[in-house]
């Protein structure tokens, strides 16, 4: 895509793109830190994630303001219009990723030093890695305008859902084994749910980015396999 006749228009679009990239990077580091803080019971690291969320919120407001000013000033069309509207929506998703990472960080103290079984921390770690890879890949492919990579990434969210279902089952087992695990396991369950939701936001970003780049919407149906509801009723009986 060539440059605009009015070059400051390009600069304004570039600034918005940079903000999306920064928010993507920040969400990645917040997510990584929150998971590490949880698995290593590192309260100081958890506090950093909580304070990082304020930076994330400020960046989102900054982006919103710049995007709205650009619309008012330039009245963008076609690709440019999709780009600006898409950025506003992606920023909202990234801001939510930050909130969910903060929520994980807030639970670090509550889970405490209680012995989390090795296999469990391994499952959470695997899930966090999957989610983190998903968020970074989506943002990366948006920034490099690689539309072809997005549909497979969106489909890959299914792996996260499957992992979530596995953790859900595992946590239920620990709670049934020893009721003293219930508090910690419930918090961990929320953490896993947060990770799963972050995956959903990454999916939204992928869909948005695809629309921005191609002008086409990805089909509504996406492979999905959330078995918790089924398993939940099964185990309660």
Partner 1 sequence: MNMLTDAAVEQKLHSTSNEAAIKMRGKDVTVHYNGKQALFGVNLDVPEQQVTALIGPSGCGKSTFLRSLNRMNDTIEGCRVGGEITLDGDDVYDPRIDVVELRARVGMVFQKPNPFPKSIYENVAYGPRIHGIARNKSELDQIVESSLEKAALWSEVKDRLNEPGTGLSGGQQQRLCIARAIAVSPEVILMDEPCSALDPIATAKVEELIDELRENYTIVIVTHSMQQAARVSQRTAMFHLGYLVEEGATDKMFTNPDDKRTQDYITGRFG
Provide the binding-site residues for partner 1, judged by CB under 8 A. Answer: 1-6, 9, 74-82, 215-216
Q: What is the DSSP string of 134-179?
A: HHHHHHHHHHTT-GGGHHHHHHTHHHHHHHHHHHHHHHHHHHHH-G
- Minimum Å gap between C-beta 90 and partner 1 is 18
- Minimum Å gap between C-beta 143 and partner 1 is 20
- Minimum Å gap between C-beta 87 and partner 1 is 15
Place of tokens 């989506």: 138
- CA 226 – CA 19 distance, rounded (Å): 33
Nearer to partner 1, 44 or 78 (CB): 78
Nearer to partner 1, 13 or 153 (CB): 13
Nearer to partner 1, 48 or 82 (CB): 82
- Minimum Å gap between C-beta 6 and partner 1 is 6
Question: Is the separation of the CB atoms in 79 and 3 below 8 Å?
Answer: no
Nearer to partner 1, 178 or 216 (CB): 216
Q: Residue 236: CB partners within 8 Å, gap ≥ 6?
A: none
């Amino acid at each position: 895509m060539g440059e605009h006749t009015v070059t400051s228009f390009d600069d304004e679009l570039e600034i918005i793109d940079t903000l999306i990239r920064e928010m993507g990077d920040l969400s990645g580091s917040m997510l990584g830190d929150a998971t590490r803080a949880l698995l290593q019971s590192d309260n100081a690291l958890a506090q950093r994630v909580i304070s990082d969320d304020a930076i994330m919120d400020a960046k989102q407001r900054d982006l919103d303001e710049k995007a709205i000013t650009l619309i008012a000033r330039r009245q963008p069309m076609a690709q440019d219009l999709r780009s600006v509207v898409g950025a506003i929506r992606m920023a909202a998703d990234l801001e939510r990723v930050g909130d969910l990472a903060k929520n994980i960080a807030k639970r670090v103290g509550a889970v405490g030093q209680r012995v989390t079984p090795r296999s469990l921390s391994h499952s959470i770690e695997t899930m966090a890695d999957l989610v983190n890879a998903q968020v970074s890949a989506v943002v990366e492919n948006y920034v490099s305008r690689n539309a072809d990579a997005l549909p497979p990434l969106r489909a890959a969210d299914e792996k996260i859902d499957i992992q979530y279902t596995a953790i859900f089952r595992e946590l239920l087992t620990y709670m049934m084994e020893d009721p003293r695990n219930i508090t910690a396991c419930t918090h961990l369950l929320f953490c896993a749910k947060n990770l799963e939701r972050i995956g959903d936001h990454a999916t939204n970003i992928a869909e948005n980015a695809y629309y921005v780049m191609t002008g086409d919407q990805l089909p509504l149906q996406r492979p999905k396999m959330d078995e918790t509801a089924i398993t939940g009723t099964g185990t309660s009986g």
